Amino acid sequence: MRHKEEIRVSRVYNFSAGPAVLPEEVLQEAAAEMMDYKGSGMSVMEMSHRSKWFDDIIKDAEKDLRELMNIPDNYKVLFLQGGASQFFAEVPMNLMKNKKAGYIITGQWAKKAFAEAKIYGDAVELASSADETFSYIPDCSDLPITDDMDYVYICENNTIYGTKYKKLPNTKGKNLVADVSSCFLSEPVDVSKYAVIYGGVQKNVGPAGVVIAIIREDLITDDCLPGTPTMLKWKTQADNDSLYNTPPCYGIYICGKVFKWLKKMGGLSVMKERNEEKAKILYDFLDQSKLFKGTVRKEDRSLMNVPFVTGDAELDAKFVKEATAAGFVNLKGHRTVGGMRASIYNAMPKEGVEKLVEFMKKFEEENA
C-alpha cells in the first residue's frame, strides 16, 4: 500500500439547506475507505454495481432503512436518480389512472410538483397557504377531495419557508403521496399512513444524486400513463431491485453509512428528541429577540429549516456576511424569500446551534 498523507482540515458550521452537512464520522469512514474498500483494492466509485461488494452495500442500506423507519413488508424501497424534481413527474405517470389528483400548496416545491402534474392530468388545488407567503400549513381536516381523485399530494416539510405538517391531512381514504426531502429520517413516521413517501437525499440523508422512494406494492403496476419512459416506471425499478441500470452507487453507499450512524445514535426517536432540543434553542432565542424574528406560525414550525429576518434587508446582509466570516455559513435565505435560514438537519451538532445563537446575541447587542 502507498502511504496515506495526513489531511489537515478546518470545518465550518454549515447551515446549508441542501446539499447539506453530513455526519463527520461518516465522512471520515468514507475517506478511510476511499482507496481500498474492504480489501477490494478499489474505491466504491470504481467498482461494478453488479459486484458482490456493491450488492452487500445496497442490500444492507435497504435493510437498515427498513429497520430505522419500521417499513412494512408490503412497501418497496427504491433507490432512484433524477432528484425529487423528476419524481414530480413520476407520481402522475405512475398513479394518475383517473387523470385526477389533489395537491396541497404549501410552498415552492409543492407548487412545482403541482405544475408538473398538470402536464399529465387534472391536478386540483385542495388548499394553499400562498396568501401569507406560505408561513403556515392550511387546515386539512375537510378538503374538497372527490371520489375520482387518484391521490392527495403534500410536501411534508417546506424547506424554503420552514413549515412542517404536524398532523397529516385527512385524505378521506385517498392515497397520500408525500415529498419528505427535507425531513427524511428526522423523526419516526408511520409508513402505513402513506401510499408513497419519497425524497431527494441531499437534505438530510446523503449526497445529491439519490432519491429514495418507499411505495406501497399494490401501486407498482405496468398500468402507467401512455408514453411513460421505461426508467420512470416504478415497476421497472422494483422488478430489478433498483438495479435496472447503473444506480448512483457512491451516493447509496454514503446513505448506507448514514443509516448505520442513525442506528448507532439510537434511531429516529432519539433523533427526534435531539432535533427538538436543537430547534428549541434557536426558536426560544428568536421568540425573545428584539432584532430577529421567526417568520413561521408557531404551531407549524419545522425542526429542520428555520427562517428568520431582522426586518431590514441591509442588516440581514450584514448579519450573513459577519456570520460567514465567523464560520457560520450558508445562512442566507432562499433567493425567493430573502432574510436568513438556518437548516439544522440531523448532522448539525447541538453545539453548532448554541454557538450560532451566541453569535446572534452578540450581533443583536452590537446592532441595537
Measured in degrees and rounded to the nearest 5, phi and psi for residue 115 equal: -60, -40
- Contact status, residue 343 vs residue 328, Cβ threshold 8 Å: no
| Angstrom distance (rounded) from CA 319 to CA 360 | 8
Q: Of the candidates 179, 187, 300, 316, which one interacts with ligand PLP according to CB under 6 A?
A: 179
Q: Of the candidates 13, 109, 114, 285, which one interacts with ligand PLP according to CB under 6 A?
A: 109
Listed in sequence order, the residues at least 6 apart from 281 whose beta carbon sits closer than 8 Å to its beta carbon are 350, 353, 354, 357
Q: Which of residues 111-150 bind ligand PLP (CB under 6 A)?
A: none
Q: Are strands 211-216 and 196-200 parallel, antiparallel or unpaired?
A: antiparallel
- With the CA atoms of 30, 211, 178 and 232 taken in that order, what torsion angle do they form, in degrees rounded to the nearest 10? -170
Q: Does 155 bind ligand PLP (CB under 6 A)?
A: yes
| Angstrom distance (rounded) from CA 22 to CA 253 | 13
Annotation marks residue 36 as catalytic: no
Q: Does 19 bind ligand PLP (CB under 6 A)?
A: no
- Provide, rounded to whole angstroms, the least separation between the CB of residue 18 and ligand PLP: 5
Annotation marks residue 278 as catalytic: no
Does the annotation list 109 as a binding residue?
yes
| Angstrom distance (rounded) from CA 349 to CA 362 | 21
Q: Residue 198 is which amino acid?
A: Y
Q: Does 203 bind ligand PLP (CB under 6 A)?
A: yes
Does the annotation list 245 as a binding residue?
yes
Catalytic one among 109, 174, 278, 300?
Answer: 109
| Angstrom distance (rounded) from CA 64 to CA 70 | 10
Does the annotation list 234 as a binding residue?
no
The distance of Cα 269 from the centroid of its chain, to the nearest Å, equals 17
Q: Does 220 bind ligand PLP (CB under 6 A)?
A: no
- Contact status, residue 201 vs residue 247, Cβ threshold 8 Å: no
Does the annotation list 85 as a binding residue?
yes
- Provide, rounded to whole angstroms, the least separation between the CB of residue 199 and ligand PLP: 7
Q: Which stretch binds ligand PLP (CB under 6 A): 61-69, 80-88, 274-282, 354-362?
A: 80-88
Closer to ligand PLP by Cβ: residue 162 or 200: 200
Helix ranges (DSSP H) in 96-192: 108-120
| Angstrom distance (rounded) from CA 299 to CA 194 | 22
Q: Does 18 bind ligand PLP (CB under 6 A)?
A: yes
Q: Of the candidates 171, 181, 242, 310, which one interacts with ligand PLP according to CB under 6 A?
A: 181
Q: Map grid coordinates 454549515 to a residue.
A: 14
Q: Does 267 bind ligand PLP (CB under 6 A)?
A: no
Closer to ligand PLP by Cβ: residue 116 or 319: 116
Does the annotation list 301 as a binding residue?
no
Q: Does 163 bind ligand PLP (CB under 6 A)?
A: no
Annotation marks residue 109 as catalytic: yes
Does the annotation list 108 as a binding residue?
no
Q: Map grid coordinates 416539510 to a residue.
A: 157
Closer to ligand PLP by Cβ: residue 109 or 114: 109
Closer to ligand PLP by Cβ: residue 114 or 285: 114
Q: Residue 28 is which amino acid?
A: Q
For residue 142, give Cα distances in angstroms to 103, 163, 171, 256, 311.
Answer: 14, 20, 8, 39, 35
Does the annotation list 216 as a binding residue?
no
Q: Does 200 bind ligand PLP (CB under 6 A)?
A: yes
Closer to ligand PLP by Cβ: residue 149 or 183: 183
C-alpha cell at 182: 427535507
Residue, CB closest to ligand PLP: 83
| Angstrom distance (rounded) from CA 74 to CA 321 | 50
Does the annotation list 202 as a binding residue?
yes
Closer to ligand PLP by Cβ: residue 85 or 289: 85
Q: Site size for ligand PLP, by CB under 6 A?
A: 12
Q: Does 83 bind ligand PLP (CB under 6 A)?
A: yes
Catalytic (active-site) positions = 109, 179, 203
Q: What does the binding site for ligand PLP look like in residue numbers (CB under 6 A)? A: 18, 83-85, 109, 155, 159, 179, 181-182, 200, 203
